[in-house]
Amino acid sequence: MTSDTLLKCVLSFQELIGTRYIIHLGRSGKHVSFEIKIEKEDCHHLMGIHYLTDRPDRRSREKIFDDIVSSEEYRNWLISSEMWTDELEDRVLCTALLSDLLDDNATIIRYNPKRLSFYSRIKAEYLFTHKDFVFTNISEVQKTDEQTADIYLFIDKKEDSDLRFCKSIFPKKNHDYTEYQAVWTLLYKEKIKPDGTDNILYCHNNYNPQELINP
C-alpha cells in the first residue's frame, strides 16, 4: 500500500465524521433501535492501526488521525511497519467503502461469538453483512483490479454513551461469522449528516418509525 492510498481511505472516512444512522430492527415481535455515530477516534480501531505494535504512538486517536491526514512522512512510517499485513490492508481498503456499506440495506445480525464453531476475539453487539460488494484493490489511488466479496462490519456500543460505533471491518475469507447467528429484520434506517440534512434510507411496509422503541 502506498501513502496516497492510505490517505484516500482516511479521507473517505473523514467525509463521514459526524454523520449519524438511526436503525430500527425487529424479530419475533421484539423491537430494538440504536444510533450509530461516526467519530474521528473510531477510525483507528476500524482500520486496525492498533495492531501496529512496532509503531507505538501514545497520543490520542484523534491526533493520530490528524497526522495520517496531514503528514506523508507519518503515513509512510505506518505502512513500513512489519505488522502491516495483507489482512490489515484489507481493513483499510474496506474503510474506504464505509459510506456505501452503511447506506446499504445489509443483513443485520445480533452478534454472539459464543455461537460460532470457531474461536473469535471480536466482541461486538451487531454484525452487518454485505453480500457481493465490489472490493477494490487500489494502487496509486487508481482502481486496477475489482472483485466482489462479502464484507463484515461489526458494530458495538460505546462505553460512555448509548451510541454505537463501527468497530471492525474486513472481507470474508476463511471463516463465516454469520453461522448460527440471529438475523433481525431491518424496519427503518435514517441517515443524518452533520449539517442536519436527513435522508430516510429505508422504511419497511406498514412500519411507523415514530413509535418509541427501546433497545
| Model confidence pLDDT, tens digit, residues 55-108 | 999 999 999 999 999 999 999 999 999 999 999 999 999 999 899 999 999 999
Better pLDDT: 210 or 31 = 31
Tell which wins on pLDDT, 206 or 47.
47
Work out the pLDDT band at 215, boundaries 50, 70, 90.
Answer: very low
Calculate mean pLDDT across residues 123-136.
87
Query: How does residue 137 score in pLDDT terms, banded at 50, 70 and 90?
Result: low
Q: What is the pTM of this model?
A: 0.90
DSSP structure string for the chain:
--HHHHHHHHHHHHTTTT-EEEEEEEETTEEEEEEEE--TTHHHHHHTGGG-TTS---S-HHHHHHHHHH-HHHHHHHHT-TT--HHHHHHHHHHTTHHHHHHS--EEEE--GGGSSS------SEEEEEEEEEEEEEETTEEEEEEEEEEEEEEEE-TTSS-EEEEEEEE--S--TTTTPEEEEEEEEEEE-TTS-EEEEEE-TT--TTS----
